[in-house]
């Protein structure tokens, strides 16, 4: 059996924003800020998991909008053109990939999930993505914490009893 070539996580951006309480709350005041927060979450997730993350934001109702592709650290952000939904972009995108690529699509849209499954990709709900993201963050914290412990100070004074320390201090002061 052949090995998978690439591992992709394709995210229906606005669908996820509307499904996660923290992002939904931010979007009430600033859609741009909620997009940026999702993007930063996915950069961390992608960096940790090694999956190529593609976030698709549709511009279906935005007059004269052209497709825009933005590359950032570990991820690609797509803003679709006018009259193109994120769903249609995602369907077209996964059709261009190799059958050996591992593709997961994150969306709560049931119809989109069925189409994605029919094209050979797997689906992940917004809730499952949130749980995966939280698990990855926890592993990052654990890794960072263990690395920090390794570089913590290692001084002789931390390992000596008070009496010995006092004698050494007296010697240091030439008493």
Q: What is the pLDDT along the chain (175 residues), one digit of tens a residue?
A: 555 578 899 999 999 999 999 999 999 999 899 999 999 999 989 988 888 999 999 875 666 778 888 999 889 999 998 888 888 898 888 888 887 888 899 988 877 777 777 777 888 999 999 999 999 888 878 877 766 665 666 667 777 788 887 888 888 787 6
Give the separation between CA 18 and CA 34, rounded to whole angstroms.
10
- Please provide the CATH number assigned to the domain covering 7-150: 3.40.50
pLDDT at 11: 94
What is the b/e burial string over 112-127, where b = at least 16 CB atoms within 10 angstroms of the residue's CB?
bbebbeebebebbbbe
* Annotated domain spans of the chain: 7-150
């Amino acid at each position: 059996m052949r090995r998978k070539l690439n591992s992709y996580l394709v995210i229906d951006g606005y669908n996820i924003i509307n499904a996660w309480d923290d992002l939904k709350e931010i979007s009430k005041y600033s859609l741009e800020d909620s997009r940026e927060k999702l993007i930063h979450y996915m950069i961390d997730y992608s960096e940790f998991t090694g999956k190529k993350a593609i976030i698709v934001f549709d511009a279906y109702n935005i007059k004269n909008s052209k497709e825009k592709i933005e590359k950032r650290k570990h991820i690609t952000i797509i803003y679709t053109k006018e009259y193109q939904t994120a769903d249609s972009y995602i369907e077209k995108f996964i059709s261009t990939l190799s059958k050996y690529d591992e593709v997961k699509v994150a969306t709560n849209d049931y119809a989109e999930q069925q189409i994605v499954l029919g094209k050979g990709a797997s689906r992940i709900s917004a809730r499952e993505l949130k749980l995966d993201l939280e698990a990855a963050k926890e592993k990052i914290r654990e890794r960072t914490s263990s690395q920090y412990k390794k570089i913590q100070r290692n001084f002789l004074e931390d390992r000596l009893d008070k009496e010995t320390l006092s004698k050494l201090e007296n010697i240091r002061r030439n008493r």
